[in-house]
Amino acid sequence: MEKISFSDIGIVSCGTLNLELSHLKQEGFLDAHNIFYTKPGLHQNCHELENQLVSRIKVAKEKVNKVIVIYGGKFCYVNVDEPTRTMQKLIDEQGSGIGRVQATHCMDMIADEATRDRIGQEVAGGEKVWWMTPGWVEYRHQVFDGWDKGIANENFPKHSGGAVVLDGIGYMNKFMAEKPEEFLEYCDWMGIPMQGYPVSLDRFKSLLLEQANILQEN
């Protein structure tokens, strides 16, 4: 994979992906000037998401001229009051020098649809899967803020293939070993089994590199 510096680029990301981005920093791939996070779980509150995202982009732009936004384009920002107001439109309003990773949501940033289909066949025989990233486990109380057992029962059990965590950082093995009771409580609350599936972060890296190259060329 090509080597490129992010040293003159700011990153604004959903806090759910903090674990992966921290991992990429530690391994030396990501040397971004600054990384600013919005609160995990704001896909449930589009107005607060918009407020925090615009605020973080503004702060990033005060420090550098180039910014990469790490938010999905289809599922992360759904404005029922203004259906035509999309994530991309919101970002475009913030001016030039801003790119967004081209994926539909955080799971798609880690594994594309074809890869998820393959994994689903392998671990769930093609049954419907509830996909997650490690952040959906680590920040579950924020991601599912306001969800009670009733809402959980309406959403999770229809995923007969269970929950699969696309794990590119070795998170799940450590979580299950160090916090087995929390793991079992989470599964019980969802009403479906949960398992981690090891993946690489190559797709995530390539999406970041793609936007970095575009920003460097413009």
Single-letter residue type at 191: G
pLDDT, residue 1, reads 63
DSSP 3-state of 82:
coil
Within 10 angstroms of residue 186's Cβ, the number of other Cβ atoms is 17
pLDDT, residue 78, reads 78
As a whole number of angstroms, the distance between CA 119 and CA 126 comes to 9
Sketch out the chain's domains with CATH numbers.
Answer: 9-106+201-217 (3.40.50), 112-198 (no CATH)
Q: Residue 199: which residues within 8 A CB-CB, separation 6 or more?
A: 110, 111, 115, 119, 166, 167, 168
Stronger pLDDT, 20 or 89, i.e. the higher one: 20
The fraction of the chain above a pLDDT of 90, given in percent, is 84
Whether residue 23 has pLDDT greater than 70: yes
Residue 167 host element (H or E): strand 163-167
This prediction has a pTM of: 0.93
Lowest mean pLDDT among 17-31, 33-47, 97-111, 171-185: 33-47
As a whole number of angstroms, the distance between CA 194 and CA 188 comes to 10
Phi/psi for 30 (5° steps) reads -110, 110
Q: What is the DSSP letter of 9?
A: E
**Averaged pLDDT, 207-214:** 96
Whether residue 120 has pLDDT greater than 70: yes
As a whole number of angstroms, the distance between CA 119 and CA 106 comes to 16
